[in-house]
Amino acid sequence: MRKFSIQALDTIFAKIAADEKLYLPVDGENGSNYKLWEPGVQMSDALNTVRSAKDFFFPQTENLIEFKVTGKQIDIIDVRNENEDFVVFGVRACDVRSFDILDRVFLSEPIDSYYANRRAHSVIISMACTRPAETCFCGTFDIDAANPAGDITCWKTQDSIYMRANTDKGEKLLAKLDGLTEECDDSAVSAQQDKTRRIMERLPLANLSAEKFGGGKTNEFFNSPAWKELSQACLGCGTCTFVCPTCQCYDIKDYDTGNGVIRFRCWDSCMYSDFTKMAHGNSRNSQVERFRQRFMHKLVYYPENNEGIFGCVGCGRCLAKCPISMNIVKVMKKLGEE
Amino acid sequence: MSINSEYKPKIVAFCCNWCSYAGADLAGSNRLAYPENVKIIRVPCSCRVNPMFILRAFQRGADGVILCGCHPGDCHYTSGNYYTRRRMALLFSMLEYLGIEKERTRVEWVSAAEGAKFAATMNDFTQTVAALGENKRLEDLRCKR
Amino acid sequence: MDVNYEALIPKVGVITDVRIDTPDVKTFRVVTPDGKKAFDHKPGQCAMLSIPGVGEAMFSITSAPTNTEYMEFSIKKCGCVTEWLHQAEVGQQITIRGPYGNPFPVDDAFVGKDLLFVAGGIGLAPLRSVINYCRHYRDRYGKIDIVYGSRSKDDLVDYQEIINEWMEDDGIDVHLTIDREQEGWDGHVGFVPNYVKELNFDTNKTVIICGPPIMIKFTLEGLISMGYNKQQVYTTMELRMKCGVGKCGRCNIGSKYVCKDGPVFRCDQLEELPDEY
Amino acid sequence: MQKITRENLINKAIELLDNGTVSRVLGWKIGEFAYDVTPAVFTTKEDLQKDFIFDDFCNANFSKYLIAETRKAEEKVLVFLKPCDTYSFNQLLTEHRFSREKVYAVGIPCEGMLDIGKIKALAGEGIIDVIPGEGSITVKNLYEEEKTLAYGDVLTERCLSCKSKKHVVYDELMGEEGDVIDSNRFDEVEKIEKMSADERFAFWQSQLSKCIRCNACRDICPACTCEKCVFDNPKSSVNNKAISDSFEEKMFHIIRAFHVAGRCTDCGECSRVCPQGIPLHLLNRKFIKDINSFYGDYQAGQEEGSRAPLINYTFDDLEPGEAVGRGV
């Protein structure tokens, strides 16, 4: 384990940013969000960013291909250029897990090269939590907020930052910082971890259990009468989906610019009325069905296809942002009652 | 593109079928010159123009958008242009509020007999927009490539 | 190090022939610009066709894999992409990617079995590939029966191929039906599910159904009442798709993606999935 | 003045359920925390007593829910309306979006609702309790810290510039009737109008570029009641969920605000629900301010059946050229 004084933070950032783009959470008027580091930019102490970290690998809009159309002829132009190295600093444990969840979708055959290349060119530096919020429930999905994964894990104490490399990529980056950091034992980190874990036990959602859910439970929950009640106030907006670090459904659309066609991909939401609309009909006609799809996907379908891993990381963003305060916690509690 | 003497702004002119389009026609048959970079889109009535049309024109690269219809009181459909007048007052005021130069948008009433007014209006509007330069505030970069 | 292959990037295809099948169905022949077949496929698999600026949609490949020269798609006019395709002329380029989905088990479960194909309307399109594959390897399969129905005689897709080739083959019985009486039609009149019942087939056949959902539903009920079990019946599904590779998240029924785990399902497998299609 | 409490409302609801006036109650349901209230339909006394809540976080405006709810059964539905909600209610009636006979509206007074976002910004995360007091609230968190915040600092944006405490429609009123307030709601708009064009552009560019196109502003809006929104129609060519090079979201927000211009009651729900904190009400209020200044004062929803300014005209309306920039 390596450590450095908090005063040296800017020097460390400058060192990293000298070679690669460095992104980190920065406070703004509407909470913190990831921004590019430049001299003078202060790292936010907020628990989590408003938008999730999935944007780095799966941006809201990205161009896939371009077409040049001349008469009856089509030329396909490959516009992929996801080859820039970058470092993301200060990712929380929940968001780090979300990368694993997205990986299982985008890196399964056939590999999504846009996502894969961005992943390959990134180094993730995570930051352990010390002050979780009431909306946190990462423990429900066996995530340890005091010991996040990532290429490098950081712990921030009053005066120092501790770093531990978890992967080769992390080792390499840490080696670059050798002159600026010093070797240390993990006693300070352990003490902080114990403290955080004790707080985690006291969280209002600490006892929320996902045990009742998982693969193979489709028929148990699909026809539950509870869906109707749970979804009755749902507006059908996409807020939950778009702030969610694990929601990965997308739409592919064409845009005719007048001098070519751009085929782009953008986030889509299963909550939208046109998500499954085809020329001849719609397989999910009412909001009840669309609402059910989102939660069944996270709690049943995803684990069924991915060795029991749930499609939720308990970051609490949807709890904070849903216009009508309906969320996965309320869904799990209500369905779990039965 | 730098703004020089050769810079020609792209102007979209929505013209109502009954008055202004005929006015443009008259300007043409009287050989009154107006800039060739004014692209006329004929609409059944000035009130057919949805605010989205105007935004869409800017998105597609227009530097100025002008809407021409019958004089108030002369609408072929009795009252269409009265609605246009309210809508465009609000829309243009909103665009200005968003920081888009107000000179880029205009409504002008041109009757079928006013070929000269049509040509003069287009000349004047084109000059005004040319002075502002390219539309940078309501553009879609994808269309500029 | 970087991943180069990208499933979402299509190839260019050229329409080399357009055949008018019915008033709203055309069959398009597609090859690559250098005149080759775009990719190999198995019976029942699909491909994503697109027209830049209009959209992309999934279509079943109508031609059999045994055709090594080109692919064919029978397409009914019903949405933006299909409407555009219907206006396309020979020589028009489109884009194509695939193959997607799982095929019918023509090389294992079907081998040695008597096959009964039941199709309604444009539902023949995905089955044509299977039928022609089975005709090509005729000795691998037992007797083949085809029940095909449509609204009218004019709405029968591939009518010429049916009467000129399929009906001429030994060991293939084709039973055509149309919904309502029509001048110049001396064949059977009536709905497909009823006709299947009337024909009273042996219950040892493997059944492949495709057609409108309502037809599938009643045919299946009829087959069950005749003594069939659901393990004998296969069908092919369609839901809205965007990526074709199980990632964009819209074509799922429960935990299964139609584009990746389907479109071919055995009816007993389908029964385990939630009722959302 | 007698304060209306949760118990008063529950008793009223039970009374109306019991005497058969209504069969369903549209109300607020208690959440997991001190602040996450969800709109819900109650049908039994037990559910009401268990889950019904009325506190400082009952922000939701039920008017729009009535469109769907009144179609579900023949019996009446009970709805509790805060003063600002009654304007939306009236506006929807004007547009014939639901049948008045199927609703039993109970007006309830409102002293302003709280914004949990503002509370969190001031008191930090980890809130486990919010205790209302006289002119202030006490916030307790997980870390055994307590903070007292003045009401004025944590009221939602729309309540800070409340336009009316008067109910414009109800079957029954609980508590005392308030008055229309001479509010300061156009101050912010004026502030922006006074900026230079460059500043205005920079301001809106920075705000609108935060948009994630989640459509929450549209979906919560009681004036947005089209069965099929143009932004959801693939054939309209504007159904891009994309944010792309700064144009699409501008288009979306201008058109969204324009479509409700003259019908928007200024209920402020759009800004309240925006996950990115975009002050969308400033677009709507600009239209309201312009309408007032161009065509005379008009408050949507004030009077059932009134003719909205954009479907009306006079022979001597302002010319667009004269109108633009007049407010500044």
**Which of A105, A277, A283 is opposite residue C276, by nearest beta carbon?**
A283
Task: Say whether both A21 and A84 belong to one domain.
Answer: yes
Across the interface, do B142 and A259 touch by the CB < 8 Å criterion?
no
Q: How far is D276 from chain A (nearest CA, A)?
A: 7
Does the structure show a pLDDT above 60 at D179? yes
Residue A191 sits in the same domain as residue A142: yes
Average of per-residue pLDDT values in chain C: 87
- A-chain CB neighbours of B139 within 8 Å are none
Sheet of D38-42, strands arranged across:
D38-42, D22-29, D76-81, D103-107, D172-173
State CA A22 to chain mean position distance: 18
Reported residue count of chain C is 277
Q: Is B83 in contact with D310 (CB distance < 8 Å)?
A: yes
Contact C10 A76 (CB under 8 A): yes
CATH number for the domain harbouring residue C141: 3.40.50.80
Most C CBs within 10 A among A80, A85, A252, hence the mutation to make, goes to: A252
Q: Are residues C224 and C183 in the same domain?
A: yes
- Judged by a CB distance cut-off of 8 A, whether residue B141 touches chain D is yes
Selecting from A131, A243, A272 the residue whose C-beta is nearest the C-beta of D275 gives: A243
C130 and C219 both lie in a single domain:
yes
| Number of structural domains found in chain A | 2
Of C246 and D233, the one with more pLDDT: C246
Q: Is A288 on the interface with D (CB under 8 A)?
A: no
Which residues lie below 8 Å from residue D15, measured CB to CB, with a gap of 6+? none
Average pLDDT value for residue range D10-30? 94
Q: C162-171 contacts: CB < 8 A, separation 24 or more? A: C165/C135, C166/C131, C166/C135, C169/C135, C169/C138, C171/C138, C171/C143, C171/C144
**Domain annotation covers residue B90:** yes
Please tell me the distance from the alpha carbon of residue C33 to that of residue C23, in angstroms, as a whole number.
29
pLDDT digits (tens, 9 = 90+) for D117-154: 999 989 888 899 999 988 899 999 988 899 999 999 99
Q: Are A235 and A274 found together in one domain?
A: yes
What CA–CA distance (Å, rounded) separates A1 from C109?
Answer: 58
Do A247 and A131 share a structural domain? Answer: no
Q: How does the average pLDDT of chain D come out, rounded?
A: 90
Structural domain harbouring B63: 11-133
Tell whether C177 and C82 lie within a shared domain. Answer: no
Min CA distance, D309 vs chain B (Å)?
8
Residues A272 and A225 in one domain: yes
| CB–CB contacts below 8 A, A to D | 130
Give the closest residue to D41 by CA, choosing from D25, D57, D52, D20.
D25
Give pLDDT tens digits for D223-258.
998 888 888 877 776 666 666 556 777 888 999 999
| Token pair in block for residue D273 | 């629900």
Separation of alpha carbons A112 and A158, rounded Å: 42
Distance CA D250, CA D266 (A): 20
Q: In a 3-state reduction of DSSP, which class is residue A71?
A: coil
B113 touches chain D (CB under 8 A): no
Are residues A21 and A146 both part of a single domain? yes
Cis bond before residue D132 (omega within 30° of 0): no
A79 contacts chain B (CB < 8 A): no
Our CA-based measurement puts residue C104 at a distance from the nearest CA of chain A, in whole angstroms, of 21
Q: What CATH number is given to the structural domain containing B106?
A: 3.40.50
Q: Same domain, yes or no, for C164 and C192? A: yes
Please indicate, yes or no, whether residues A236 and A179 belong to a single structural domain of this protein: no
Q: Does B141 touch chain A (CB under 8 A)?
A: no
Q: How many structural domains are present in chain C?
A: 2
3-state secondary structure of A225: coil
Q: Would C44 be classed as within a structural domain?
A: yes
In chain A, what residues touch D31 (CB-CB under 8 Å)? Answer: 325, 330
Are A24 and A146 in the same domain? Answer: yes
Note down the domain range covering A168.
2-58+80-202
Choose the weakest-confidence range: C75-79, C86-90, D155-159: C75-79
Give residue C67's domain range: 11-100
Q: Write the CB contacts of A211 (distance below 8 Å, at least 6 apart in sequence).
A: none
Asked, for residue C266, whether it belongs to a domain, the answer is no
Residue C197 has pLDDT above 90, yes or no: no
Residues B48 and B41: their CA atoms lie apart, in Å, by 11
Residue B83 belongs to a domain: yes
Strand partners, A266: A61, A251
Is there a single domain that holds both residue C128 and residue C176?
yes
Strand order across the C71-76 sheet: C55-60, C46-51, C93-100, C11-22, C25-31, C71-76
CA-to-CA distance for D204 and C259, rounded, in angstroms? 42
- Say if C248 falls within a structural domain: no
Q: What is the mean pLDDT of residues D156-180?
A: 91
Partner residue facing C53 (CB), from A254, A296, A302 = A254
C87 near A CB under 8 A: no
Strand bridging mode B11-16 / B38-43: parallel
C82-86, long-range: CB within 8 Å, 24+ apart, which pairs? Answer: C82/A279, C82/C57, C84/C51, C84/C54, C85/C26, C85/C28, C85/C49, C85/C51, C86/C26
Among C217, C236, C255, the domain-final residue is C236
In this prediction, residue D245 carries a pLDDT of 59
| Neighbour tally for D321: CB within 10 Å | 15
Which one, of D278, D283, D275, lies nearest residue D255 by Cα?
Answer: D283
User: Sheet harboring A122-127: ordered strands across?
Assistant: A31-36, A21-28, A86-91, A122-127, A152-156, A160-165, A2-5, A182-183
Q: Whole-angstrom Cα distance, residue B39 to residue B129?
A: 14
User: How far apart are the C-alpha atoms of B4 and B1, rounded to whole Å?
Assistant: 9
| H or E stretch at B120 | helix B115-132
D323 interaction partners in chain B (CB closer than 8 Å): 89-90, 92-93
User: Maximum Cα–Cα distance for chain B, whole Å?
Assistant: 45
Tens-digit pLDDT profile for residues C89-123:
999 999 999 899 889 998 888 888 888 999 988 88
For D118, phi then psi, to 5°, come to -65, -40
Q: What ipTM, to 2 d.p.?
A: 0.88
Judgement on whether residues C124 and C226 belong to the same structural domain of the protein = yes
| Total beta-carbon pairs less than 8 A apart between chain B and chain D | 121
Secondary structure in 3-state letters for D269-304: HHHHHCCCCCCCHHHHHHHHHHHHHHHCCCCCCCCC
Q: What are all long-range contacts of A210-213, with beta carbons under 8 Å and residues at least 24 apart?
A: A210/A140, A210/A141, A210/A299, A210/A310, A210/A332, A212/A332, A212/A335, A212/A336, A213/A299, A213/A300, A213/A303, A213/A310, A213/A332, A213/A335, A213/A336
Could you give phi then psi for residue D112, rounded to 5 degrees?
A: 105, 140
* Residue B33 maps to a domain: yes
DSSP of B98-117: TT--GGGEEEEE--TT-HHH
Task: Write the Ramachandran bin of C168: left for phi over 0, alpha for psi from -120 to 50, otherwise beta.
Answer: alpha
- Distance in angstroms (rounded) separating the CA atoms of residues D323 and B85: 10
Are A257 and B61 within 8 A, CB to CB? no
Percent of chain D scoring above 70 in pLDDT: 95
Query: A164 and A232 in one domain?
Result: no
Cβ neighbours of C277 in A, within 8 Å: 283
Half-sphere exposure of A280 (CA within 13 A, CB side): 12
Q: Rounded to whole angstroms, how far apart are CA atoms C113 and A240?
A: 50
Closest-CA residue of A relative to C81 is: A279
Which chain D residues are within 8 Å of B88, Cβ to Cβ? 320
Q: Which residues of chain A are modeled with pLDDT < 70?
A: 338
The secondary structure of D212-256 as a DSSP string is: ----HHHHH-TT---SS-GGG-GGGT-------TTTHHHHHHHHH
Let me know: does C3 contact A113? Beta carbons within 8 Å.
yes
Give the pLDDT of residue B2.
Answer: 45
For residues A177 and A284, state if they share a domain: no
The neighbour count for residue C23, using CB atoms within 10 Å, is: 10
Interface of A with B in 233-262 (CB under 8 A): 255, 257-260, 262
A152/A24 same-domain check: yes
Phi, psi angle pair for D218, to nearest 5°: -75, -45
Q: What is the pTM of this model?
A: 0.90
Band of residue B1 on the pLDDT scale cut at 50, 70, 90 = very low
pLDDT band at D272 (very low <50, low <70, confident <90, very high): very high
Secondary structure class of B88 (helix, strand, coil): helix
Looking at the domain assignment, is residue A8 inside a domain? Answer: yes
pLDDT over 90 (residue D209): no
Touching check for D321 and chain A: CB below 8 Å?
no
Of the residues A30, A50, A247, the best mutation for testing chain D's interface (the one with the most D CB atoms within 10 Å of its CB) is: A30
Q: State both tokens at A74.
A: 């089509």
Say which CATH number the domain at C94 has: 2.40.30.10
C57 lies in the same domain as C151: no
* Token code pair at residue C161: 């191929």
**Are residues A279 and A322 both part of a single domain?**
yes
**Domain count for chain B:** 1
D309 → closest Cβ in B86, B99, B139? B86
Among chain B residues, the shortest Cα distance to D250 is held by B138
Strands C93-100 and C11-22: antiparallel
Residue, of C89 and C241, whose pLDDT is higher: C89
